[in-house]
Amino acid sequence: MEGMTAPPDDCLARNEWICGAYLSSRREILRDAVLQHLHLTVVSVLVALVVAVPLAVAARRLRWAAGPVLGLTTVLYTIPSLAMFSLLLPVYGLSATLVIAGLALYSLTLLVRNILAGLRAVPEETRQAARGMGYGPVRLLLAVELPLALPTAMAGLRIATVSAVSLATIGAIVGFGGLGNLIYSGMNTYFKAQVLTASVLCVVIAVAADLLLLFVQRLLTPWTRRGGRPGRAGPRRAPAPPKPAESAEPTGPTEPAQRTEPVA
Amino acid sequence: MTTLGAAWEWLTSAAHWSGGDGVAHRLAEHLYLTGVCLALSCAVALPVALVLGHLGRGGALAVNLANAGRAVPTFAVLVLLLLSPIGGWGSWPTVIALVLFAVPPLLTNGYTGMRGVDRDVVRAARGMGMTGRQLLLRVELPLALPLVLTGVRIAAVQLVATATVAALAGGGGLGRIITAGFNTASTPQVIAGAFLVAGLALLVEGAFALVQRFASAHPGGGTG
Q: Which of B76, B178, B197 sits opposite A199 (nearest CB)?
A: B76
Containing structural domain, residue A166: 15-223+252-259
Q: Give the residue ranges of DSSP H helices in A26-145.
A: 27-61, 63-78, 81-87, 89-92, 96-120, 124-132, 137-139
Domains of chain B: 2-217 (1.10.3720.10)
Task: Answer yes or no: are the C-beta atoms of B67 and B124 closer than 8 Å.
Answer: no
Instruction: Give the B window 164-193 contacts with A, CB below 8 Å.
Output: 164-165, 167-169, 175, 178-179, 181-182, 187, 190-191, 193
Q: What is the pLDDT of residue B87?
A: 85
Three-class DSSP labels, chain B = CHHHHHHHHHHHCHHHCCCCCCHHHHHHHHHHHHHHHHHHHHHHHHHHHHHHHHHCCCHHHHHHHHHHHHHCCHHHHHHHHHHCHHHHCCCHHHHHHHHHHHHHHHHHHHHHHHHCCCHHHHHHHHHCCCCHHHHHHHHHHHHHHHHHHHHHHHHHHHHHHHHHHHHHHCCCCCHHHHHHHHHCCCHHHHHHHHHHHHHHHHHHHHHHHHHHHHHHHCCCCCCC
CA distance B93 to chain A (A): 13
- Identify the CATH number of the domain in which residue A176 sits: 1.10.3720.10
CA distance B151 to chain A (A): 8
Instruction: Give the B window 107-146 contacts with A, CB below 8 Å.
Output: 108-109, 112, 116
Task: Tell me which DSSP letter residue A223 carries.
Answer: G
Report yes or no on A47 lying in a domain: yes
Report yes or no on A149 lying in a domain: yes
Q: Please state the domain count of chain A.
A: 1
Instruction: Name the residue with higher pLDDT: B112 or A251.
Output: B112
- Confidence band, pLDDT 50/70/90 cuts, at residue B219: low
* Cα–Cα distance list, B52 to A28, B58, B142 (Å): 47, 6, 16
Per cent of chain A over pLDDT 70 is 82
Per cent of chain B over pLDDT 90 is 71
User: Does residue B215 carry a pLDDT above 60?
Assistant: yes
User: Does residue B147 carry a pLDDT above 70?
Assistant: yes
Could you report the per-residue pLDDT of B23-49, keeping only the tens digit for each?
A: 999 999 999 999 999 999 999 999 999
Report yes or no on A89 lying in a domain: yes
Count the alpha carbons within 13 Å of A28 in the hemisphere toward its beta carbon: 0
Report yes or no on A96 lying in a domain: yes
Task: Answer yes or no: are the C-beta atoms of A200 and A139 closer than 8 Å.
Answer: no
Could you report the per-residue pLDDT of B80-138, keeping only the tens digit for each?
A: 999 999 888 888 999 999 999 999 999 999 999 999 999 999 999 999 999 999 999 99
Report yes or no on A235 lying in a domain: no
Contact A86 B190 (CB under 8 A): yes
A8 in B contact zone (CB under 8 Å): no
Q: What is the pLDDT of residue B171?
A: 84
Task: Answer yes or no: are the C-beta atoms of B37 and B156 closer than 8 Å.
Answer: no
CA distance B124 to chain A (A): 23
ipTM of the complex: 0.88
Report yes or no on A8 lying in a domain: no
Reported for B3-6, long-range contacts at CB under 8 A and 24+ positions apart, including other chains, are: B3/A90, B3/B187, B3/B188, B3/B191, B4/A90, B4/B191, B6/B187, B6/B188, B6/B191
Report yes or no on A112 lying in a domain: yes
Residue type, position A6, single letter: A
Count the alpha carbons within 13 Å of B147 in the hemisphere toward its beta carbon: 28
Report yes or no on A247 lying in a domain: no
A78 in B contact zone (CB under 8 Å): yes
Could you report the per-residue pLDDT of A75-126, keeping only the tens digit for each?
A: 999 999 999 999 999 999 999 999 999 999 999 999 999 999 999 999 999 9
